[in-house]
A and B are shown apart, each in its own frame.
Chain A
Amino acid sequence: MSEPTVADTRRLNSKPQDLTDAYGPPSNFLEIDVYDPQTVGVGRNRFTTYDVRMRTNLPIFKLKESCVRRRYSDFEWLKNELERDSKIVVPPLPGKALKRQLPFRGDEGIFEESFIEERRVGLEQFINRIAGHPLAQNERCLHMFLQDESIDRNYIPGKPQ
């Protein structure tokens, strides 16, 4: 008894997709830019700050658009908070560049333009990777970092309100 060979093209029945769903904006829009580095202060008290601008339509974020000013140590703070409080493997930050902070260098050290640009790119990659993580989105520290004017280091860790 030989069976005719027919291509098996069975499919389960599916609901046709709603056109507004198909062509509307996706519900996963999240974009964060780290840009406009500015070096503030004088002499040995200088440091560089960056604009962190976020645009999103994820309901978990209170503001759909936000723009805050942050420096490298703020990113470090965020990484430490997440490593302590959540089970996420937090992506790496661009390096601390301690060597660049030693005196008697031939160049501008950590205020060298190419270094700042390298760091800016690394910080942008870092924040985009971490902000898209469903578990990180559940931590108060991420929301404070992205959307509060300044970081309150004495905050109470936990879930966002």
Chain B
Amino acid sequence: MSFFSFGQTAEIDVVLNDAETRKKVEHKTEDGKKDKYFLFYDGETVSGKVNVTLKSPGKRLEHQGIKVEFVGQIELYYDRGNHHEFVSLVKDLARPGELTQSQTFDFEFTHVEKPYEAYTGQNVKLRYFLRATISRRMNDISKETDIVVHTLSMYPELFSSIKMEVGIEDCLHIEFEYNKSKYHLKDVIVGKIYFLLVRIKIRHMEIGIIKRETTGTGPNIYHENDTIAKYEIMDGAPVRGESIPIRLFLAGYEMTPTMRDINKKFSVRYYLNLVLIDDEERRYFKQQEITLWRKGDVMRKSMSHQASIASQRFEGQESGEKPPPAQAKEESN
């Protein structure tokens, strides 16, 4: 968003140093549209230039200081006035004074911590942005540039499956099994439903993915449920001993990693919802939480490149610095 003074005297904007090489990703905006933003990971350095352009050259711009901030904040839609900033860094670019001509300022936020993934949801938004500001007596000139952050994880391939027997006594017993409890965003859910006892007349069975966004705490807790996917996996009446296979490709759906209690403000969790429908339209269902995570890919190479650029710019710093956290190993799948 830009705040321009009436009859703007100057424009301010931010350009990243690696704008040519850095990857951009699509991210949903609050009104549902999709835009592209530069993608950053935790620990990466954010560096660039702030350009101040005077509209009428020759006319001086008096100011109370020029600065650039890197902000990570959580915004609850029902409480817009309060932004919860969990990352707030500032670099002063110019002391109070005046500019007689357009000027460019370099900045660098080194190895910035970006602990959470950027998220735009139904009732809450978590975003990261650079804000360049020219402070003035009457009104500031300021510009915000959003970036998107992804959080990567690395989980070993061998982890436990989910296997459970559920049912209604003397009526319906099933055993469901899903091959993993944690799935990455492009993974495949492989599972099966085994019928142990069927004393009701089942007409069909469906499986779905439900996303639950939870905001607020205590008595003000609010869950927003959204069915991401739903499809029929069985048509007809099963009998005892039948096994119904499940295969659900996650890459086709727009999902985020599981986010638990982010900064104590919100959560985003995913559930597999198994529903059996009998011939009187009665629904029997079982929800099971799955953990979704984002797998690192070949992108990793640019991260080390970033770290080496950062260490070269400022001589005197130790080389062989601690590498940025959350570096996922390349999967050999």
Q: Point out residues on A near B: beta carbons under 8 Å.
A: 1, 3, 8, 10-12, 14-15, 17-18, 21-22, 24, 26-28, 30, 58-60, 129, 132-134, 137
A sample of 15 inter-chain contacts (CB < 8 A) reads A10-B190, A11-B245, A12-B177, A12-B190, A14-B194, A17-B243, A18-B241, A21-B239, A26-B239, A27-B197, A59-B170, A59-B199, A133-B280, A133-B282, A134-B168
Bin the interface of chain B by size: 20 to 34
Q: Which one of B172, B239, B241, B249 contacts A15 once the chains associate, using CB atoms below 8 Å?
A: B241
Q: Are B168 and A21 in contact (CB under 8 A)?
A: no
Q: Are B198 and A17 in contact (CB under 8 A)?
A: no
Report B227-242 CB contacts with A as 1/0, cut-off 8 Å: 0000000000101111
Instruction: Give residues 238-257 of B contacting A (CB, 8 Å).
Output: 239-243, 245, 247, 249
Q: Which residue of B lies closest to A10 (CB)?
A: B190
CB distance from B17 to the nearest CB of A (A): 28
Q: Is B72 an interface residue, CB under 8 A from the partner?
A: no
State in angstroms the CA–CA spacing of A129 and B282 once bound together: 10
Q: Which residue of B lies closest to A11 (CB)?
A: B245
Report B139-172 CB contacts with A as 1/0, cut-off 8 Å: 0000000000000000000000000000010111
State in angstroms the CA–CA spacing of A154 and B132 once bound together: 82
Q: Which residue of B lies closest to A129 (CB)?
A: B280
Instruction: Give residues 195-246 of B contacting A (CB, 8 Å).
Output: 197-202, 237, 239-243, 245
State in angstroms the CA–CA spacing of A155 and B31 once bound together: 61
Instruction: Give residues 241-300 of B contacting A (CB, 8 Å).
Output: 241-243, 245, 247, 249, 278-280, 282, 298
Q: Are B200 and A14 in contact (CB under 8 A)?
A: no
CB distance from B211 to the nearest CB of A (A): 23
Contact A8 B188, CB 8 Å, known A59-B170, A132-B201: yes
Q: How many A-B residue pairs have CB under 8 A?
A: 72
B279: A residues at CB distance < 8 A: 132
Q: Which residue of A lies closest to B179 (CB)?
A: A12
State in angstroms the CA–CA spacing of A60 and B197 once bound together: 14
Q: Which one of A10, A15, A17 contacts B188 once the chains associate, using CB atoms below 8 Å?
A: A10
Given contacts A21-B241, A132-B280, 14 further A-B contacts (CB under 8 A): A3-B333, A8-B249, A10-B179, A11-B190, A14-B243, A15-B241, A17-B243, A21-B240, A22-B239, A24-B239, A27-B198, A28-B198, A28-B199, A28-B237
Q: Are A17 and B249 in contact (CB under 8 A)?
A: no
State in angstroms the CA–CA spacing of A8 and B179 once bound together: 14
Contact A1 B298, CB 8 Å, known A10-B190, A10-B247, A133-B282: yes
State in angstroms the CA–CA spacing of A10 and B187 once bound together: 12
Q: Which residue of A lies closest to B278 (CB)?
A: A132
Q: Are B192 and A12 in contact (CB under 8 A)?
A: yes
B240: A residues at CB distance < 8 A: 21, 27
Q: Which one of A18, A21, A27 contacts B199 once the chains associate, using CB atoms below 8 Å?
A: A27
Q: Is B43 an interface residue, CB under 8 A from the partner?
A: no
A10: B residues at CB distance < 8 A: 179, 188, 190, 247
B249: A residues at CB distance < 8 A: 8
Q: Are A134 and B188 in contact (CB under 8 A)?
A: no
B245: A residues at CB distance < 8 A: 11-12, 14
Q: Which residue of A lies closest to B172 (CB)?
A: A134
Q: What 3 A-B pairs are tightest by C-beta distance, nearest first?
A: A14-B243, A17-B241, A21-B241
CB distance from B27 to the nearest CB of A (A): 26
Q: Which residue of B lies closest to A128 (CB)?
A: B280
State in angstroms the CA–CA spacing of A138 and B330 once bound together: 57
Q: Are B280 and A28 in contact (CB under 8 A)?
A: no
Most buried by A among B201, B241, B279: B241
CB distance from B242 to the nearest CB of A (A): 6
